[in-house]
Amino acid sequence: MAALTQNKSILSWIDEKVELVKPDKIVWIDGSEEQIEALRKEACSTGELIKLNEELLPDCYYHRTAVNDVARVEDRTLICSKKEEDAGPTNHWMDPEKAYKMVYDIARDSYKGRTMYVIPYSMGPIGSPLAKAGIELTDSIYVVLNMCIMTRVGKKVLEVLGDSNDWVRGLHCKCDIDAEKRWICQFPEDNTIISVNSGYGGNVLLGKKCFALRIASYQGKNEGWQAEHMLILGIENPKGEVKYICAAFPSACGKTNLAMLIPPEGYRKKGYKVWCVGDDISWIRKGKDGRLYAINPENGFFGVAPGTNEKSNPNALASTKKGTIFTNVARNLDDNTVWWEGLDKNPPVNAEEWTGNKVNGPEYKAEGKNLAHPNSRFTAPAVNCPCISSEFENPEGVPISAFVFGGRRAKLAPLVYQSRDWNHGVFVGSIMASETTAAAAGAVGVVRRDPMAMLPFCGYNMGDYWKHWIEIGKTLDPDKAPKIFNVNWFRKDDEGNFMWPGFGDNLRVLEWILKRCDGEVDAKETAIGYIPYAKDINIEGLEGEVSLESLESILDVDKSLWANETDGIAEFYQKFGDKLPKELADELDTLKANLK
């Protein structure tokens, strides 16, 4: 098939890779509906995809990954900078020369008998000053179809790119899905990503975590902008004014849910609305007016299925009703639809669990087993979302009023607190910790440090990344800089129950955050920052779920627990040696002094 571009840097790079992997043929993805439809048909004919009920779920497909390949693999995800120090103590590093040799040896000849798909894609609205292009080569139709939902794909991307060399190289080879030979390598200094032996989302949709976070965070450091693991939502008040918040939570800790929340009834009646700009990644840059602006570089949602239902996230559920690919959920064989834990209380009787075995759903559940994998996902077009923001395609992005950090902490972290200023806010982000989830392979529920929710996604030394945050702050007029907060929807009581209802009710906390940004409400100064007075969080309509006393207890700052925490922070900080910005060391000293 003829190439879709004359760009020499692209053509010569593809030639090299063709020589390496030896495909039978090459197909350029032009972004046309006809081509996409033909690929869906082909994938169905080989069993790679299963077409779902056309009436109930039009244009929706089902896919299963290998059972050993259901999540990101952090210990096989490498940052291959020339110097180990540039990857830093929180990344797995390999010398680039050694890494290229290792993955090329695995990739060599691996496309024999297969097709090479060339996907030109844009992260961000095509032509936006904040957007960037990439080319992904893959031997998987599933990857092509997911990329066509998650990014802007096709000819137009190449037209806008022209002869430029500023694009990210991505080579994905399924190989044999051998977990022992699975590697996800980022070469930030070469704008290159190579992924072998996986077929799971974050490992193979190279525009997402690999480019839009790992490579882009490195680019942002050099070019004066930021790539963050943050959702973007707009909150419209009854006067019709919209303010935007970016929030960073670790994987499977509530970004998609917060980004699309439905306001509680009392708020809806007053005229509050929430608009979703993005659910996972933000690219952020200072605008002409001196404020920070964010775009969502993605074009779809790769969301966690379990727990998504009509009550928790109706907008996400609605987004999955057409043109969606479901991965590793369960199938209802009676009507050829999908099911997952937390969708409803009726697991299908005639079911196929996520690995493909036919089971009786209710009986299977009674044995305590899951029908869907805990990290099963939907890939849904952003345009499907009923609350998608009118600014979603705005090439300039939206102005940010607040940054919110948050994690899953059963104890310690209060429902919400505000930092004293920018540098203290950077400190608050840097000391984030959260219980691990099924989004990455490994143990679940273990508390680990996850600064800015970027632990698995920062493409360079985290100490330099913190410095970059501090430097950005210096360029901002304090009146225009976003205010920085921390939230925790996951505090538990001694019986292990969540103390805060979460989901739509999180708007009650966001309202306090916006009031703080506008200087409309007082707060209590504590050792860790500003905490709301309980009376200032609106709990009207939450009768029976949250009392003023229980609210007070989730807002509580336990000094002895926090004193313990400072030991953990100090130990973590120590890993960074002289890469730790002095500003953060000073903030830690201040916190310790405040806790005395």
Residue located via tokens 């009676």: 334
User: What is the C-alpha to C-alpha distance for residues 464 and 449, in angstroms, rounded to an integer?
Assistant: 17
Tokens linked to 303:
């969301």
Residue 196 or 380 with smaller CB distance to ligand GTP: 380
Helix (H, G, I), strand (E, B) or coil at 233: strand
Q: Which does 485 bind (CB under 5 to 8 A by kind): ligand SPV, Mn ion, ligand GTP, none?
A: none
Q: How far is the CB of 89 from Mn ion (least distance, A)?
A: 22
In contact, 60 and 34? CB cutoff 8 Å: no
The answer to whether residue 328 forms part of the interface with ligand GTP (CB under 6 A) is no
Residue number, nearest CB to Mn ion:
280
User: What is the C-alpha to C-alpha distance for residues 61 and 381, in angstroms, rounded to an integer?
Assistant: 13
Please, which of residues 469-498 interact with ligand GTP by CB under 6 A?
Answer: 489-490, 498
Amino acid at 186: Q
In contact, 163 and 139? CB cutoff 8 Å: no
CB-count exposure of residue 421 (10 Å: 0-12, 13-18, 19+): middle
User: What is the C-alpha to C-alpha distance for residues 372 and 352, in angstroms, rounded to an integer?
Assistant: 9
Please, which of residues 71-100 interact with ligand SPV by CB under 6 A?
Answer: 72
User: What is the C-alpha to C-alpha distance for residues 240 and 237, in angstroms, rounded to an integer?
Assistant: 5
Residue 307 or 323 with smaller CB distance to ligand GTP: 307
Residue number, nearest CB to ligand GTP:
502
Please, which of residues 238-277 interact with ligand SPV by CB under 6 A?
Answer: 251
Residue 202 or 529 with smaller CB distance to ligand SPV: 202
- Catalytic: which of 80, 175, 246, 253? 253
Burial 210-224 (b: 16+ CB within 10 A, else e): bbbbbbbbbbbbeee
Q: Is 253 a catalytic residue?
A: yes
Q: How far is the CB of 110 from ligand GTP (least distance, A)?
A: 29
Of 525, 377, 356, 484, whose CA–CA distance to 439 is shortest?
377
Residue 72 or 483 with smaller CB distance to ligand SPV: 72
The answer to whether residue 209 forms part of the interface with ligand SPV (CB under 6 A) is yes
Which stretch in 95-103, 202-210, 421-429, 530-538 sits in contact with ligand SPV by CB under 6 A?
Answer: 202-210
Of 417, 538, 540, whose CA–CA distance to 484 is shortest?
417
Q: For ligand SPV, which residue of 302, 417, 460, 500 counts as binding (CB under 6 A)?
A: 302
Angle ∠(388,390,392) on CA atoms, nearest 5: 70
Q: How far is the CB of 304 from ligand SPV (least distance, A)?
A: 8
Q: Which does 312 bind (CB under 5 to 8 A by kind): ligand SPV, ligand GTP, Mn ion, none?
A: ligand GTP
Which stretch in 21-29, 90-98, 200-208, 236-244 sits in contact with ligand SPV by CB under 6 A?
Answer: 200-208
The answer to whether residue 280 forms part of the interface with Mn ion (CB under 5 A) is yes
Residue 208 or 243 with smaller CB distance to ligand SPV: 208
Tokens linked to 116:
């090479």
In contact, 199 and 174? CB cutoff 8 Å: yes
- Compute φ and ψ for 401, nearest 5 degrees: -90, -35
Please, which of residues 247-266 interact with ligand GTP by CB under 6 A?
Answer: 249, 251-257
Q: For ligand SPV, which residue of 120, 124, 202, 323 counts as binding (CB under 6 A)?
A: 202
Residue located via tokens 């996604």: 457
CA-to-CA dists, residue 40 to 48, 175, 202, angstroms? 9, 21, 21
The answer to whether residue 439 forms part of the interface with ligand SPV (CB under 6 A) is yes
Residue 142 or 562 with smaller CB distance to ligand SPV: 142
Which stretch in 122-130, 391-399, 478-486, 501-509 sits in contact with ligand GTP by CB under 6 A?
Answer: 501-509
Residue 312 or 590 with smaller CB distance to ligand GTP: 312
Rg (alpha carbons) of the chain, rounded to whole number: 23
Q: What is the DSSP string of 71-132?
A: SB-GGGEEE--SSHHHH-TTSEE--HHHHHHHHHHHHTTTTTTSEEEEEEEEESSTT-TT-E
User: What is the C-alpha to C-alpha distance for residues 347 and 312, in angstroms, rounded to an integer?
Assistant: 18
Of 591, 587, 534, whose CA–CA distance to 559 is shortest?
591
Q: For ligand SPV, which residue of 48, 136, 280, 352 counts as binding (CB under 6 A)?
A: 280
User: What is the C-alpha to C-alpha distance for residues 186 and 103, in angstroms, rounded to an integer?
Assistant: 11
Residue 4 or 259 with smaller CB distance to ligand SPV: 259
Q: Which does 254 bind (CB under 5 to 8 A by kind): ligand GTP, ligand SPV, Mn ion, none?
A: ligand GTP
The answer to whether residue 312 forms part of the interface with ligand GTP (CB under 6 A) is yes
The answer to whether residue 307 forms part of the interface with ligand SPV (CB under 6 A) is no
Which stretch in 185-193, 201-209, 477-485, 503-511 sits in contact with ligand SPV by CB under 6 A?
Answer: 201-209
Q: How far is the CB of 254 from ligand GTP (least distance, A)?
A: 3
Q: How far is the CB of 207 from ligand SPV (least distance, A)?
A: 10
User: What is the C-alpha to C-alpha distance for residues 339 and 495, in angstroms, rounded to an integer?
Assistant: 30
The answer to whether residue 228 forms part of the interface with Mn ion (CB under 5 A) is no
The answer to whether residue 450 forms part of the interface with Mn ion (CB under 5 A) is no
The answer to whether residue 201 forms part of the interface with ligand SPV (CB under 6 A) is yes
Of 342, 324, 451, 442, whose CA–CA distance to 380 is shortest?
324
Considering CB under 6 A, how many residues would be counted as binding ligand GTP? 22
Rule CB under 6 A: which residues touch ligand SPV? 72, 201-202, 208-209, 251, 280, 302, 439
Rule CB under 6 A: which residues touch ligand GTP? 249, 251-257, 279-280, 303-304, 306-307, 312, 439, 489-490, 498, 502-503, 506
Catalytic residue positions?
253
Rule CB under 5 A: which residues touch Mn ion? 251, 280
